[in-house]
Amino acid sequence: MKLLLKPNDIPRITSLSGNIDIDSLKPHIFTAQVTDIKRILGKDLYNKMLDDTLVDEYLTIYDDYLIYILSYYATAYFIDFAGVKVVNNGVVKMTIENAENADLKQTQILAEKYRKLAINFEGQLLAYLKTITIPEYTIENVVKKKPFNTWY
C-alpha cells in the first residue's frame, strides 16, 4: 500500500519528535489513510490521489489539506497506541530511561487535540471541494459519515 505521507511530514507538521522510527508511524499512517482519508475523499478521488502525479486542484488538495489531515489523524492514532507494544510474551508498557511517561488521561487529551486539528482541516477540505469540479469527487462516491472522535 502506497502511503500518502513522506517520512518527515509528521515531525515537520506535529510535535512528534523527528527521531521517532518511521516504521513505528507507518501502521498509524496506514490506518488514518484507509479509514479517514478514504472516507473523506471517496473511493475514486482517493485512488486518484494514490495513482496519479498530482497537478492543479489535486496538488492543492494534497498540499493544503491532505498532508495535514493525514498527519494529525495518524499522530492521534500513534499517541493512542504508542505507550504499549505487543510482543511475543504479551503486551508491554513502553518506557524510556530518565523520562516519565504521561498518564492515560494526558495521552487521551493530546490525541484528542490532534483529532480536532484533523477534523478542522477536514472541514476546510470539504468546503474547498464544493468550490471546484473534479470528476472523481461526487457525493455518491463519499461515505456519508461524520468524522468520529473515538472508536473505542
pLDDT digits (tens, 9 = 90+) for 107-117: 889 999 999 99
pLDDT digits (tens, 9 = 90+) for 124-151: 999 999 999 999 997 665 655 555 555 5
Backbone angles phi, psi at 127, to 5 degrees: -65, -40
Alpha-carbon separation of residue 4 from 94, 106, 121, 126 (angstroms): 28, 29, 16, 18
Helix (H) or strand (E) holding 110, with range, is helix 104-131
pLDDT digits (tens, 9 = 90+) for 56-97: 999 999 999 999 999 999 999 998 887 666 667 777 666 554
Answer yes or no: pTM beyond 0.75: yes
Domain ranges for the chain, please list them. Answer: 9-141
